[in-house]
Amino acid sequence: LMKGGDIEYGYLGVQIQPVTQDVASAIGLDHPGGALVAAVTEGSPAAKAGIETGDVITGFAGQEIKDPKDLSRAVADVSPGSKETLNVWRNGKAMQISADVGRNAEDQKTASNGEGGKPSAEQGLRVPSLGLGLTDLTPDIREQLNLADNQRGAVVERVNPDKAASAAGIEPGDVIVAVDRTPVKNARQANQAIAEAGKSGRKSVLLLVDRGDAQIFVAVPFAAG
């Protein structure tokens, strides 16, 4: 859309990533597809419409969304200020949400792997089913990873290179802030939530991770047997 000589693009204000087979399994989708919302910009059109972290956007303005690129293109192509309907998968249910598309902002951001520092060695909790060693956030670790004082979560201090977490892309220095969309404040809560997911018979667990300046979902499959 041209206005005053400038090109205007539609804008939602979400950070998105692909839905892999492991992610689909973790959230109860029959098959991969759509755009997984890893973060919602505060005050953005998406936030005002009620889009939440962990939502999977499967449709926008009548178009099927198969991957993040589909959503980025679809949003950019609509007129800023228009009201559009999003098809969303949330907590095992399909729903529709209306959003007023914004203008003159960055297009949808695709979640990328930021660089997280490695926390100093400290005895913490082990999650043998995934091959993780977790520890609580301490003042030293906050400073080392440049984290805010109010940051909560479990810090990954060790990753077994032969286990599922490593294969899924979890790295030392990652901060797990939610397990299956449930926020966790420390290593013990994260460990308990992962254990409960394993006991439920699920094939994988969905971890929301802060890594550098990015927030991403990582689905980690449980070992067979």
Domain ranges of the chain: 2-110, 125-221
* Pair 186, 151: CB distance under 8 Å: no
What does the alpha-carbon distance between residue 81 and residue 103 come to, in Å, rounded to a whole number?
7
Task: Judge if 2-110 and 125-221 fold alike in CATH terms.
Answer: yes
139, containing H or E segment: helix 139-145
Domain 125-221 has CATH 2.30.42.10: yes
pLDDT tens-digit series, residues 140-181: 998 988 888 889 999 999 999 999 999 999 999 999 999 999
Closest CA to 159 of 209, 90, 87, 84: 209
Measured between alpha carbons, how far is residue 96 from residues 17, 88, 114 in Å?
20, 6, 32
Neighbours of 180 (CB within 10 A): 20
pLDDT tens-digit series, residues 78-98: 989 999 999 999 988 999 999
pLDDT tens-digit series, residues 107-135: 455 555 444 444 443 345 556 578 899 99
What does the alpha-carbon distance between residue 63 and residue 34 come to, in Å, rounded to a whole number?
11
What does the alpha-carbon distance between residue 131 and residue 157 come to, in Å, rounded to a whole number?
11
pLDDT tens-digit series, residues 25-39: 888 888 899 999 999
Model pTM score = 0.78
Residue 2 pLDDT: 45
Which residue in the block uniquely carries the two structure tokens 């206005």?
3
Fold entry, domain 2-110: Pdz3 Domain (2.30.42)
What does pLDDT average to over the chain? 86
Residue 119 pLDDT: 41
